[in-house]
Structure formats: C-alpha cells, structure tokens
Amino acid sequence: MKVWFLGTGTSQGIPVIGCNDPVCLSEDPRDKRLRVSILIQWDDYSYVIDCGPDFRQQMLTSKSHKLDGILFTHEHADHTAGLDDIRPFFFRQGDIPIYAHKRVLTELEKRFDYIFEQENKYPGAPSVKEHEVKNNENFTLGNKTVIPVNIMHGNLQVFGYRIDDFAYLTDVKAVEAEEREKLKGLKVMVVSALREAEHPTHFNLDEALAFIEELKPEKAYLTHISHLMGFHAEVQNKLPENVFLAYDNLQITL
C-alpha cells in the first residue's frame, strides 16, 4: 500500500493569503502546505481521504487518472470544498463512490445540491454514489477492510480510518478508550497536530505526541499543520525518532 500526502496544512493552507509570518514566507517546499488529504493506492485501487479546495491541484500533481472513491472524515470546508472537481473522473468512470457519516452526506447534499439533483440535472454536473459509514461497522474498499474510528473534533464527530496496519486521523481533539482499542498494533499512524499552543478543537503538538506515545505505532506522521507550528526543519529536529512532520507530496509505502 502506498500513501501519498497530498496536503498537510490546516484550513487556510500555508502560506496563508496575505500573511507575512516567516513560515508563510519560507522558501522550504516542506513549509508550503495545501489543505489536508491523502491518496491511498494498492494493486489497481486509488482512494483519497477528503476532498478539500486544493483537490484539483492535488490530482494534477499526483497524476491521478482514476479515482475509486472518496472517504470523508467530516463536513468542514477544508475537507469537502473540492467535490465539484471530481468531474474529469466522473466523465471517464461514471458515478464516483463517496463514503461518509450520514450527517456529512446530508451536508454535502445541501452544499452541492446540483450534484445530487435527480431531475433536470445539468449535463456537466458530476454524480456520486453515496455510502453511509457507521461506527463499529467495517466496510470494504476493493479487497481491503476499512475500520472506521470515531474521534472528536471539539463537539463534532469525525471519522478516522484504519486500513490494515495504517490509520489516518485528522482534526482530532479527543478519542475515547474503546476507539483507541482500534488503533493498537499500527505500523503507521497519521494524526493531526495543529501547533504548539493549545486549541479547543485540535490536538496541539504535545497532545499528539502523548497520543502517539500511548498507542505506540511503529511510526507516526503529523498533519493538519498551521503556520504557527514553526518551520518544518526546526520542528522535525525536536520530535522523537519515530515521529515525523508530514509534508506535501511525501510518499510512504507500507
């Protein structure tokens, strides 16, 4: 299985528009972060987790020809706003499967009503095939089983996803004990860490590191990073040896 970090930034991306913070002005390509998403590929399958406003650019950079589906973590715009740009995939493949909590599907129907329109649909609009994700109900993608993991983003429920020994958790602030059980024995865990200072709805760096320390994946990658986290190179130097700051276009193989 190959995992490609398409975007590793928080909701505004880095650089933030009009921002003169040194991290936003950094020349290091690892300090430039699109909105969070990953591409997961194995055999002939290609899936993305989340589809934010940078989706088009991410699909161009990854030279993706085919998309077997989109798994949504939650409905916030930095994770969903790119849905219209599935059009090239839809024109070639037909309805694109999407996987999400019922609440998220309802939100997408509201925001992208023309995609879900049944009568008099504009011929250029894409279509999707909805799959409801329920906690404690594993589902299948291609020949693999996906385990949804319930996590909390402040008061908002978010799905993390485990596939084999890999798990992807973004926009995390709290994970209940029974959900942590689903995250034992991982080779790679991706978890969000916004910045050093505390935040009401996101793990900060210390909280993410404590979570990693408890669950003991072989390796952990941090994502959903704000410009307030600091320069990639400096922060990476301070991390434990099995923890890495992810960066855009980092690719790992499991």
Question: Rule CB under 5 A: which residues touch Zn ion?
Answer: 76, 78, 171
Q: Is 190 helix (H, G, I), strand (E, B) or coil?
A: strand
Decide whether 126 or 223 has the Cβ nearer to Zn ion.
223
Provide the minimum distance between the beta carbon of 76 and Zn ion in the complex, in angstroms, as a whole number: 5
Structure tokens at 231: 């320069």
Decide whether 31 or 171 has the Cβ nearer to Zn ion.
171
Q: What residues form DSSP beta bridges with 245? A: 222
Provide the minimum distance between the beta carbon of 212 and Zn ion in the complex, in angstroms, as a whole number: 19
Q: How far is CA 180 from the centre of its chain?
A: 19
Name residue, tokens 């930095």.
78
Provide the minimum distance between the beta carbon of 74 and Zn ion in the complex, in angstroms, as a whole number: 8
Whether 19 and 226 have beta carbons less than 8 Å apart is answered as no
Decide whether 54 or 78 has the Cβ nearer to Zn ion.
78
Query: What's the rounded Cα separation, in Å, for the pair 7 and 29?
Result: 12
Provide the minimum distance between the beta carbon of 53 and Zn ion in the complex, in angstroms, as a whole number: 11
Provide the minimum distance between the beta carbon of 71 and Zn ion in the complex, in angstroms, as a whole number: 15
Nearest to 203 by CA among 185, 215, 191, 190: 191
Provide the minimum distance between the beta carbon of 14 and Zn ion in the complex, in angstroms, as a whole number: 13
Q: Does the N-terminal peptide bond of residue 148 adopt cis geometry, omega within 30 degrees of 0? A: no
Decide whether 180 or 199 has the Cβ nearer to Zn ion.
199
Structure tokens at 151: 């996590």
Structure tokens at 234: 């400096």
Structure tokens at 157: 């429920």
Whether 74 and 156 have beta carbons less than 8 Å apart is answered as yes
Decide whether 42 or 225 has the Cβ nearer to Zn ion.
225
Decide whether 125 or 156 has the Cβ nearer to Zn ion.
156
Q: Does the N-terminal peptide bond of residue 15 adopt cis geometry, omega within 30 degrees of 0? A: yes
